[in-house]
Chains A and B, each alone.
Chain A
């Protein structure tokens, strides 16, 4: 067995272990399990972090469909998250819909928006598309927060939108499984797309859009479809988030940082693969939480005051982003996938290819 094959084995085993842990550990918090004297593996903090991680798995995997497979690096996908969140939130808070009825509308609303915005936007290439999509992300958040009708904010304004708490036993566990389910759906959708005609069409568009067009790929329709699919999945995460968090506003539903985080996660894990973005999401989210001091194990730097930790975390994130982009653009999975070895030589070669 070659080294890379060995690494692949290790990675698969590790991945399965993580998934098994994520699925089974929460069960120890059930009353039934406690009655059997099983050790409590999860607590409120665990559920919170795990649910957020699953949320990012959805977003990174979804981004991968438009960014990684199709090659259109959208920089404003958080707009779909927020639209999903506010769609569900508004239906529950204002129209008094039950949660499970409001949730399916989140991906629908996000997808419709993606089609409307995608038709003009996806005609742009490279920089123009990237910043235009960034502009969408920023502008939508702003509009949602500030749009008034006759002096009253439509979407709750600066004070945000509150929803009644979803009454269900083991609420933390419920929402974690829900988000985990969404993550599973995202991954399954990506898996199905990659080995379908649609997927090949998207990759063709990424590799050479003009060539794709002349062999019969309806590039506009395919791009918009990929965009809408990514939007729908991201919107689903937003919808779940809204009810889970009970409160939404511009800051927690349209955070600009999410845009880059989901891209970095996909990049880290390997764009264009099925599990890459998910792996990147888990790893990066753990790192971010660690740096922010949210994990039980914290970093105590002697010269840094505690309230400065989140800011320092952002600095580290920026440095990490820079390092990943400079040294390992094809992602860690490229290494684990056997296509390259993470040696100094590889890093040097990578660097040589891109610098002047």
Chain B
């Protein structure tokens, strides 16, 4: 069964440094996958490679078996890969609803709704992420957690088959994280494959079926959250040699 997204030996260099170095894994349709790793591990770079923002220096990325390496970002989006940005990029002069409607107007090739239908779809997506009440507000009136929701809403409005979320939980407090987790689950339940790049372990453990750990551009581990998080190499990568040894009891 062809995986939905297949990364083979993906490599991306900046100057002499390989930010992503031979990363290989596959994602099956409908999975909810976490990607973690210490800062500088290459998580966002990997995401940028998948969504077409960066060109690969090596390896290949396949979508339902067809290579998408080298495609322009808009083409990748049209295939059904949606993404958010770590530092949100809203369309500042538009209202919340308009931001999401633009997502619905473009996006995946499966439908191209006319204006009215796009706005209707925007409303239902806003309902899904919990921004319905704020639909007519300008973006500038939103709080940070709400802007992150907006970012997700716009991506969801593009009718993605795979959604890449880049540190959506960053900067949120516990209550906000719970709300955001609910939103992620709701999106996943509509049948979208979700990939979460995260630092917040609670999120990973709470919602991911599978976790991939990156360190220095390479995959360190790939498996169920509770197994991976106990993996010595993972602990070492995050916390350093000394602390890992201490945990080991040595």
Residues of A within 8 A of B (CB): 195-197, 200-201, 203-204, 206-208, 210-220, 272
* B contact residues, total (Cβ < 8 Å): 32
> Using Cβ atoms and an 8 Å threshold, which residues of chain A touch B83?
214
Query: Nearest chain-A residue to B108 (Cβ)?
Result: A216
Looking at chain A's contact residues, is the secondary structure mostly helix, strand, loop, or mixed?
A: helix
Q: Which of the residues B76, B89, B90, B106 comes within 8 Å of A217, measured between beta carbons?
A: B106
Q: Which of the residues A196, A197, A207, A219 comes within 8 Å of B74, measured between beta carbons?
A: A219
Interface residue? B154 (CB, 8 A)? yes
Cβ-defined contact, A215 with B107, below 8 A: yes
Cβ-defined contact, B103 with A215, below 8 A: yes
Cβ-defined contact, A200 with B105, below 8 A: yes
With A195-B115, A200-B102, A204-B102: A214-B91 Cβ-Cβ less than 8 Å: no
Interface residue? B93 (CB, 8 A)? yes
Q: Which of the residues B53, B76, B91, B103 comes within 8 Å of A208, measured between beta carbons?
A: B91
With A215-B103, A216-B78: A207-B51 Cβ-Cβ less than 8 Å: no
Cβ-defined contact, A207 with B94, below 8 A: yes
> Using Cβ atoms and an 8 Å threshold, which residues of chain B touch A195?
115
Interface residue? B58 (CB, 8 A)? no
Considering the complex, which residues of chain B in the window 78-98 have a beta carbon less than 8 Å from any beta carbon of chain A? 78, 82-83, 85, 89-94, 98
Q: Report, nearest first, the 7 A-B pairs whose CB atoms are least far apart.
A: A216-B106, A207-B91, A211-B89, A216-B77, A213-B73, A208-B89, A216-B107
> Using Cβ atoms and an 8 Å threshold, which residues of chain A touch B155?
215
**27 interchain pairs, CB-CB under 8 A:** A196-B115, A197-B105, A197-B106, A197-B115, A200-B101, A200-B105, A203-B91, A204-B91, A204-B102, A207-B93, A208-B91, A210-B53, A210-B85, A210-B89, A211-B90, A211-B91, A212-B91, A213-B73, A214-B74, A214-B82, A214-B83, A214-B85, A215-B77, A215-B103, A215-B106, A215-B158, A216-B106
User: Separation in Å of the A218 CB from the closest CB of chain B?
Assistant: 5
Interface residue? B144 (CB, 8 A)? no
> Using Cβ atoms and an 8 Å threshold, which residues of chain B touch A216?
74, 77-78, 106-108, 158
> Using Cβ atoms and an 8 Å threshold, which residues of chain A touch B72?
213, 218, 220
Query: Nearest chain-B residue to A213 (Cβ)?
Result: B73
Q: Which of A212, A219, A220 has the most CB of B within 10 A?
A: A212
User: Separation in Å of the A216 CB from the closest CB of chain B?
Assistant: 4
> Using Cβ atoms and an 8 Å threshold, which residues of chain B touch A210?
53, 73, 85, 89
Cβ-defined contact, B53 with A214, below 8 A: yes
Interface flags for B101-124 (1: CB within 8 Å of A; 0: not) read 111011110000011001000000
Cβ-defined contact, A211 with B77, below 8 A: no
> Using Cβ atoms and an 8 Å threshold, which residues of chain A touch B115?
195-197
Cβ-defined contact, A214 with B94, below 8 A: no
With A213-B73, A214-B83: A201-B91 Cβ-Cβ less than 8 Å: no
